[in-house]
């Protein structure tokens, strides 16, 4: 169990001694990465701290309504400014990842920066590239952990609606609106506190979950109807999408979010994978139910990682070879399940 009191003191020490604080989230930021970073930004702003934010690349469109998101510097858009922000920072706080390659193009600049580095995260198997690692994989989200830290440091006195919204977004996106992932009574007590600050849950739910384009819904139907392959002998299903598929359905960043969970609702399937062809590589998303560690699977075969039941990875091979590699890995890891 994470000792919040201990980390509160250590984190406070770093915050009190920093003049230029930089917050960074992981590449392809999801609701938790953006939410935890924005929440911390609102908190530091309230303390009058000089704080900037960087995301390695663009936010998914369904997150850009969040207050403060227009103040996030995008590394691949403003490289020079972002490099300067990294160089001038004396404290860099990283959110929702624990492997430095999740910094994308910003990685090498962050690694060589002389700033003190703090990671706040909830993934398994952390790499050591920070001075302080605050991580607990039993938390629903990095946002939940950020909220506990901020509540501890401010002794419960920090109340701000933009902050609450950001924490709420992190928690409900990482749990798929409480369908999967880790959450417990404590998570709901935090949600209750957030509600008490006056957030509009219906508005946020609509913005996050009911904001899709027609073509995204059609892509979803196509993915399930044409591109889902069931392998009952491995209790596994996978969906693959080619670049041409994505173009046909006018793909926008974030459109395939959630697809990977759907095959898990098929009776007898407890491992699901989404394999997506991208311009520069192949992205894989893994989900499992119960006793199969997809973070280990992702790490071992696809240079990735994540959580026990939700992870991701990449491949630099062709789509065809990636699927072959996936099927071979499946035989090795789940051959006895047949």
Work out which of 307, 309, 326, 334 binds ligand 5GP, going by CB under 6 A.
Answer: 307
For 62, phi then psi, to 5°, come to -75, 0
Scan residues 285-304 and list those touching ligand 5GP (CB under 6 A): 285, 304
From residue 258 to residue 287, the character string flagging contacts with ligand 5GP as x (rule: CB under 6 A) and all else as - is ---------------------------x--
Using the minimum distance from each CB to ligand 5GP, give the nearer residue, 139 or 307. Answer: 307
Full strand arrangement of the beta sheet holding 72-74: 72-74, 50-55, 20-25, 91-95, 116-121, 132-135
Q: Cβ of residue 164: shortest distance to Mn ion, in angstroms?
A: 18
Q: Cβ of residue 199: shortest distance to ligand 5GP, in angstroms?
A: 24
Q: Cβ of residue 304: shortest distance to ligand 5GP, in angstroms?
A: 4
Look at residues 124, 167, 153 and name the one whose alpha carbon lies nearest to residue 38: 167
- Distance, CA of 204 to CA of 19 (rounded, Å): 34
Which residue in the shown chain puts its C-beta closest to ligand 5GP?
A: 312
Asked if 310 is part of the footprint of ligand 5GP (rule: CB under 6 A), the reply reads yes
- Distance, CA of 209 to CA of 338 (rounded, Å): 36
Q: Cβ of residue 26: shortest distance to ligand 5GP, in angstroms?
A: 6
Question: For strand 91-95 and strand 50-55, is the pairing parallel, antiparallel, or unpaired?
Answer: unpaired
148 contacts which partner out of Mn ion, ligand 5GP, none, CB within 5 to 8 A by kind? none
- Distance, CA of 28 to CA of 167 (rounded, Å): 18
Work out which of 37, 150, 171, 311 binds ligand 5GP, going by CB under 6 A.
Answer: 311
Asked if 181 is part of the footprint of ligand 5GP (rule: CB under 6 A), the reply reads no
Using the minimum distance from each CB to Mn ion, give the nearer residue, 51 or 173. Answer: 173
Work out which of 25, 136, 312, 333 binds ligand 5GP, going by CB under 6 A.
Answer: 312
Using the minimum distance from each CB to Mn ion, give the nearer residue, 164 or 175. Answer: 175
Asked if 164 is part of the footprint of ligand 5GP (rule: CB under 6 A), the reply reads no
Q: Cβ of residue 336: shortest distance to ligand 5GP, in angstroms?
A: 26
Asked if 96 is part of the footprint of Mn ion (rule: CB under 5 A), the reply reads yes
Any alpha helices (H) in the chain, and if so which ranges? 4-16, 31-46, 79-88, 107-112, 142-153, 161-174, 185-196, 201-209, 214-226, 243-248, 294-302, 319-334
Q: Which tokens go with 31?
A: 């609701």
- Distance, CA of 270 to CA of 265 (rounded, Å): 9
Burial-class residue 54 by CB neighbours within 10 Å (0-12, 13-18, 19+).
buried
Asked if 136 is part of the footprint of Mn ion (rule: CB under 5 A), the reply reads no
Q: Which tokens go with 179?
A: 């369908």
Q: Which residues bind ligand 5GP (CB under 6 A)?
A: 99, 102, 123, 285, 304-307, 310-314
């Amino acid at each position: 169990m994470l000792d919040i009191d201990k980390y509160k003191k250590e984190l406070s020490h770093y915050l009190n001694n920093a003049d230029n604080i930089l917050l960074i989230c992981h590449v392809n930021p999801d609701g938790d990465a953006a939410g935890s970073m924005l929440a911390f930004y609102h908190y530091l702003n309230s303390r009058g701290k000089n704080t900037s934010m960087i995301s390695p690349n663009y936010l998914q469109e369904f997150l850009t309504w969040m207050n403060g998101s227009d103040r996030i510097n995008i590394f691949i858009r403003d490289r020079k400014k972002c490099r300067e922000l990294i160089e001038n920072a004396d404290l860099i706080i990283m959110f929702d990842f624990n492997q430095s390659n999740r910094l994308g193009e910003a990685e090498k600049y962050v690694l060589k920066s002389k700033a003190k580095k703090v990671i706040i995260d909830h993934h398994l198997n952390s790499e050591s590239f920070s001075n302080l690692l605050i991580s607990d994989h039993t938390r629903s989200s990095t946002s939940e952990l950020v909220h506990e830290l901020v509540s501890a440091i401010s002794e419960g006195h920090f109340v701000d609606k933009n902050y609450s919204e950001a924490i709420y977004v992190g928690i409900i996106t990482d749990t798929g609106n409480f369908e999967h992932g880790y959450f417990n009574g404590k998570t709901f007590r935090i949600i209750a506190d957030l509600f008490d600050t006056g957030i509009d849950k219906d508005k946020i739910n609509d913005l996050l979950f009911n904001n899709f384009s027609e073509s995204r819904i059609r892509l979803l139907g196509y993915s399930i109807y044409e591109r889902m392959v069931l392998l009952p002998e491995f209790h596994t299903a996978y969906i693959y999408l080619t670049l041409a598929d994505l173009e046909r359905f006018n793909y926008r960043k974030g459109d395939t979010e959630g697809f990977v969970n759907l095959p898990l609702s098929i009776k007898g399937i407890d491992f699901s994978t989404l394999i997506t062809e991208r311009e520069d590589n192949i992205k894989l998303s893994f989900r499992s139910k119960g006793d199969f560690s997809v973070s280990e699977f992702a790490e071992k075969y696809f240079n990735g990682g994540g959580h026990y039941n939700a992870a991701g990875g990449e491949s630099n091979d062709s789509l065809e070879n990636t699927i072959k590699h996936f099927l071979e890995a499946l035989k090795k890891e789940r051959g006895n399940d047949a």
